[in-house]
Amino acid sequence: MGQYAGQPDFATNNIKEITANNTINQANYLDSSIIYIGDNTTSGDVMIVIPSGTVGPSVISGFSSPYSGSGGSGYTAANGVATTTDGSGTGLTVDTTVVDGAVTAIVINAAGSGYLNGDLITVSTGGANAVFRVNAEAGLPTGAQSVTFHGLQAGGFLPVTVDYVLATQGGETTTVERLIAAR
């Protein structure tokens, strides 16, 4: 329970004024901050946020060969080669490095979407038997994962901790001003 009813307990030296921004990157990352609403009397009462801990779509960080001999046979080096998967992703194309007909390495040509860590992909050309494991990590959240709050009171705190405060999303605009983030 806070010092005053309905207010959070926190003591911190990490307090800063913030402005709503649609750029999702490390510079705008609020790291599970509590947001104080300084003014909504002139602008409105809407705030669009990405809640703390929201993880974005996976991003492919590389590939590994899951077992000996998985480089396949019958390949020639090529760029933009289609792949198939046993997982959930689609649209990945790769550039291949080939030695004696076997794929020894692949790099992303077009990343596709929806791939998860551990998915197996098969390089489609050649003998269609070169198999690699996707190494993926969590990406940044997207605006589509935001939550919009209405009816916010000046001098109050947002009821959730947040990582980002967005300016706009889905036809809505953050209208509260003079926001303070604290951890």
Report domain extents, the chain.
15-54+141-182, 56-139
**The predicted structure's pLDDT at residue 2:** 47
Q: Which tokens sit at 57? A: 């779509």
**The predicted structure's pLDDT at residue 44:** 78
**The predicted structure's pLDDT at residue 87:** 84
Residues 19, 22, 27, 31: is their CA dihedral positive or negative? positive
Q: DSSP label at 90?
A: B
Tokens 């030695």 map to which residue? 99
Q: Residue 13 class from Cβ within 10 Å (0-12 exposed, 13-18 middle, 19+ buried)?
A: exposed
Strand pairing report for 120-123 and 130-139: antiparallel
Residues 59 and 155: their CA atoms lie apart, in Å, by 39
The number of beta carbons lying within 10 Å of the beta carbon of residue 126 is 20
- The pLDDT tens digits along the chain (183 residues) read 445 555 555 546 678 899 999 999 999 999 999 999 987 777 778 999 999 999 998 999 999 987 888 999 999 999 999 999 988 899 999 999 999 999 999 999 999 999 999 999 999 999 999 999 999 998 999 999 999 999 888 888 899 999 999 999 999 999 998 899 988
Give me the amino acid identity at 18: I
**The predicted structure's pLDDT at residue 6:** 58
Contact status, residue 153 vs residue 47, Cβ threshold 8 Å = no
**The predicted structure's pLDDT at residue 3:** 53
Residues 71 and 102: their CA atoms lie apart, in Å, by 5
CA proximity to 141, closest of 164, 110, 161, 170: 164
Contact status, residue 30 vs residue 162, Cβ threshold 8 Å = yes
**The predicted structure's pLDDT at residue 1:** 41
